[in-house]
Structure 1
Amino acid sequence: MSDLRRRIAFPKGTTLFQPGQACPGLVLLDKGTIRVTLTAANGREVVLYRVSPGDMCLQTFACLVEGRSYSAEGVAETDLEGELVPPDQFRTRLEGDPDFRTLVFSAVANRFGEYERLIEDVALTGFDARLARVLLRLADPAGEVHAAHSALAVETASGRAFVSRRMAEFVRRGLVEQLRGGVRITDRAGLERIAAD
């Protein structure tokens, strides 16, 4: 049996899949991050999760197992490198390769844990805690978050205007300072306290 996996590389910003599209196979990343988002009928968008090396895209897994099309969008958040396992090879390896099966099922289980946290954040956590967690997660080593309010709205499953009001309050409280195209965290401990609420 020949191995039909093939190497792939995509530049940052490439749309890898969209709602209604058939699945070309399982992407196993060696490098980079895919951002998976869902858009509601009213146009509001939310980040469901990110796929990094070792992670599993639940959208892809569901499409491969059930033979359905995508319901969300996946975009290369950074340059990507990896391999593509076509659908027939995915099924063959899942049935006959115990190591591959363990890898897939462990990654799916971890991803479901992240889904539970997302639901908890959106349904059971106050907005300021959600926003603080996103800022802490997206901050680079210098404490800068390079994301406009519209991008933060997508990350927090909220509206841009509401994010802008809460960010203004974070600035007023000395937690962050506004930069062109983002913010710099000025009180990390303060944000961590809010994130823990």
Structure 2
Amino acid sequence: MTDAPDGTLATLYPVLAALPAAARQRLQARAQVISMPAGATVFDELQACHGFPFVLSGGLRVVKAAPNGRELPLYRVTPGETCIISSACLLGRAPYNARGIAEVETRLLLLPNADFQALLDEPAFRDFVFQLFSERIADLMQLIEEVAFRKLDQRLAALLLGKGPRLHVTHQQLADELGSVREIVSRLLKGFAEQGLVALAREQVAILDPAGLRRVAGV
């Protein structure tokens, strides 16, 4: 492995310090650093999973794509985290069932499948993987609840409130985060503007009435 100092990796993933020396040496020798430009597809549906990714810098957006091209964001993976879909595919020896996209220029440390399976014999690493499963499943359950039970205007209002008083974002980016289409989000934003909740400008949304947005969001 090159271009991934052990100190940097251990800082991002402290669990690795709990591994026996032989396991750490195996990881260092076998894992490979991969650089991906912004917007690159890191993995795609039905592709085989060849390794376990550690994110060194940048980040991934994991989405579920529909046949019509729409995407539902599932979660993000930032440095110090890892991808449970990759873990599930390796554990189940199954292909990917979602798509991973580099949000910005991203560097990954990819641990081959055989070495991932060997590390699972180490209690500290096994606990780390299953703790991630627990956290991500909780996040995905919340996403399912929002999609199934909250109207899109409520979800949009909550999304706006979580991004600060002034957003530098396109309607398409908001639609992507909500798993919707730009035309619907634009129509909802226009309605918010007519109610005096927000002010719209090119690639900007300014929140004028946070309390009003909270009422819409139901929070």
TM-score past 0.5 threshold: yes
Tell me, in whole angstroms, the C-alpha distance in 1 between the residues paired with 2:89 and 2:111: 13
Which of 30, 34, 48 is the matching residue for 1:8?
34
- Alignment of 1:113 with 2:138, yes or no, is yes
1:16-95, aligned counterparts within 5 Å? 16-95=42-121
- Contact conserved, 1:54 with 1:107, CA < 8 A, in 2? no
Report whether the alignment pairs 1:134 with 2:156.
no
What TM-score do the two structures reach when normalised by structure 2? 0.79
Greater Rg, structure 1 or structure 2?
Answer: 2
Alpha-carbon distance in structure 2 between the residues aligned to 1:73 and 1:110: 20
Aligned-residue CA RMSD (Å): 2.1
What stretches of structure 2 of length at least 5 have no aligned partner?
1-21
**Alpha-carbon distance, 1:119 to partner:** 0.4
Q: Give the gaps of 5 or more residues in structure 1.
A: none
- Structure 1 residues 84-124: Cα deviation after superposition (integer angstroms, max 9, x where no partner): 111111111012x2221111111111000010010010001
**Residue in structure 2 matching 1:143, options 158, 166, 170:** 166
Task: Say whether 1:124 aligns with 2:149.
Answer: yes
- Of all paired residues, the percent bearing the same amino acid is 39
Letter in 1 for 2:127: T
Structure 1 residue 178: Cα displacement: 1.7
Relative to structure 1, the CA distance from residue 46 to residue 196 in structure 2 (aligned partners, 3 Å threshold; closer, same or farther) is same
Structure 1 residues 131 and 51: CA distance shift in structure 2, 3 A:
same
Matched-pair contact (CA < 8 Å) for 2:55–2:82: no
Deviates more, 1:110-119 or 1:21-30: 21-30
Question: Counterpart of 2:134 in structure 1: which amino acid?
Answer: A
2:49 and 2:96 in contact (8 A); partners too: yes
1:166 aligned partner, one-letter code: L
Q: How many residues align?
A: 193
